[in-house]
């Protein structure tokens, strides 16, 4: 009887070894779920994220699950530090579209990935678009309406670019200049910052007032701006003439700029953008110009 039990035990152990060796290997990678700001799992159509230029990206992260490995044994990494352009202080410094890739590896070395689309946009984005432009000046003849595509700056928040300012003919050549204008509010920073222009706070010109705003909040707040600050900007035309174009200030009202954004009554719908400019040529006063941009 003892011999029989010994033989049975050996047989049982052998069966266990055989069954263990026949166990199917783990060939399934972890499942990765993207999280939103409230730690909610995002659906496939919710994974794109729009951020404001010169804010700090806070990654909600991911959660993972695996058919075999315990969660603490799954290695999760991402490449956000490689794909996002940030300043030394961690501010997003460039208007761009990037993809952050998250990678999860289980104990069997199975690897899974998932991507999140990140779009960085300038807070001045609401003012970009195609406008009908009309120019009047003291010395040049009035011009018929022409289309002009207004764009936003890729690095300075609150900055707008106008591509065909002071469009005219000179010595049978077409002359025009691309100038930039900065959103301006007397309630915020009135001191210029090389990094963020006039988007600072009243107490700190280097800290953007919209730092803690989401994209939608920032865009809505941009439509409260009424003024555009236009610093002196030098140009050389194709004929070698040296021009400087600058915004006109109101000396009777704390030097507030005359250049402005006008809205339809009681709304944040842009009615028109008005640029009030002084032009000098070769160091001498040349013209006083008004350009009106009406959205198409």
Q: Does the structure show a pLDDT above 70 at 4?
A: no
For range 108-117, the mean pLDDT = 95
Say what the pLDDT of residue 16 is: 47
- Give the dihedral of Cα atoms 208, 210, 216, 222; nearest 10 deg: -70
Say what the pLDDT of residue 239 is: 85
Q: Does the structure show a pLDDT above 90 at 52?
A: yes
What is the C-alpha to C-alpha distance for residues 290 and 285, in angstroms, rounded to an integer? 15
**19 vs 267, which has greater pLDDT?**
267
pTM: 0.88
Q: Are 258 and 248 in contact, with CB atoms under 8 Å apart?
A: yes
From the centroid of its chain, how far is CA 285? Answer: 38
- pLDDT, tens digit, for every residue of 221-243? 999 999 999 999 999 988 899 99
The domains of the chain, with CATH numbers, are: 25-121 (2.60.40.10), 125-295 (2.40.128)
For range 74-87, the mean pLDDT = 96
What is the C-alpha to C-alpha distance for residues 279 and 243, in angstroms, rounded to an integer? 7
- pLDDT, tens digit, for every residue of 138-169? 999 888 799 999 999 999 999 999 999 999 98
CA angle (214, 216, 218) in 5-degree steps: 70
- pLDDT, tens digit, for every residue of 100-112? 999 999 999 999 9
Question: In sequence order, what DSSP letters do the residues of 261-281 get, joined into one string?
Answer: EEE-TTS--EEEEEEEEEEEE
Alpha helices in 152-263 (DSSP H): 215-222
Q: Are 128 and 99 in contact, with CB atoms under 8 Å apart?
A: no
User: What secondary structure letter does DSSP report for 92?
Assistant: B
Say what the pLDDT of residue 133 is: 96
Task: State phi, psi for 7 to the nearest 5 degrees.
Answer: -65, -40
Q: What are the structure tokens assigned to 227, written together? A: 């003024």
Place of tokens 């779009």: 119
The length of the chain is 296
Q: Are 162 and 275 in contact, with CB atoms under 8 Å apart?
A: yes
- pLDDT, tens digit, for every residue of 171-229? 888 899 999 999 999 999 999 999 999 999 999 999 999 999 999 999 999 999 999 99
Q: What are the structure tokens assigned to 77, written together? A: 């990494």
H or E element, residue 162: strand 159-170
Place of tokens 């266990």: 16
What is the C-alpha to C-alpha distance for residues 191 and 156, in angstroms, rounded to an integer? 15
Q: Is residue 64 very low, low, confident or very high in pLDDT (cuts 50, 70, 90)?
A: very high
Say what the pLDDT of residue 39 is: 86
Q: Which of 112, 99, 110, 111 lies closest to 32 in space, CA to CA?
A: 112
Residue 103, SS3?
strand
Q: What percent of the chain has pLDDT over 90?
A: 80
> Which of the residue ranges 15-19, 67-71, 253-257, 283-287 would you say has the lowest mean pLDDT?
15-19
Say what the pLDDT of residue 269 is: 97
Q: Are 192 and 152 in contact, with CB atoms under 8 Å apart?
A: no
């Amino acid at each position: 009887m003892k011999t029989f039990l010994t033989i049975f035990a050996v047989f049982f152990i052998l069966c266990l070894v055989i069954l263990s060796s026949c166990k199917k290997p783990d060939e399934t990678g972890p499942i990765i779920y993207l999280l939103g700001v409230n730690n909610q799992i995002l659906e496939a159509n919710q994974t794109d994220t729009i951020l404001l230029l010169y804010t700090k990206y806070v990654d909600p992260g991911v959660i993972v699950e695996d058919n075999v490995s315990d969660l603490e044994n799954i290695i999760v990494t991402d490449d956000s530090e490689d794909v996002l352009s940030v300043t030394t202080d961690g501010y997003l410094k460039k208007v761009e579209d990037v993809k952050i890739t998250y990678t999860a590896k289980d104990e069997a070395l199975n690897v899974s990935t998932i991507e999140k689309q990140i779009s960085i946009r300038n807070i001045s984005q609401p003012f970009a678009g195609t406008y009908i432009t009309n120019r009047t000046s003291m010395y040049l003849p009035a011009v018929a309406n022409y289309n002009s595509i207004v764009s936003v700056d890729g690095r300075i928040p609150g900055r707008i670019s106008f591509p065909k300012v002071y469009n005219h003919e000179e010595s049978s050549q077409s002359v025009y200049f691309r100038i930039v204008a900065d959103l301006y509010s007397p309630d915020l920073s009135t001191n210029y910052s090389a990094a963020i222009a006039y988007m600072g706070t009243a107490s700190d010109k280097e800290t953007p007032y919209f730092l803690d705003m989401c994209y939608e909040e920032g865009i809505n707040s941009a439509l409260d701006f009424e003024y555009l600050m236009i610093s002196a900007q030098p140009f050389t035309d194709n004929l070698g003439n040296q021009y400087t174009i600058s915004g006109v200030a109101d000396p009777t009202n704390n030097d507030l700029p005359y250049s402005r954004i006008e809205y339809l009554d009681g709304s944040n719908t842009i009615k028109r953008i008005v640029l009030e400019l002084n032009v000098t040529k070769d160091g001498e006063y040349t013209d006083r110009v008004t350009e009106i941009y009406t959205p198409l």
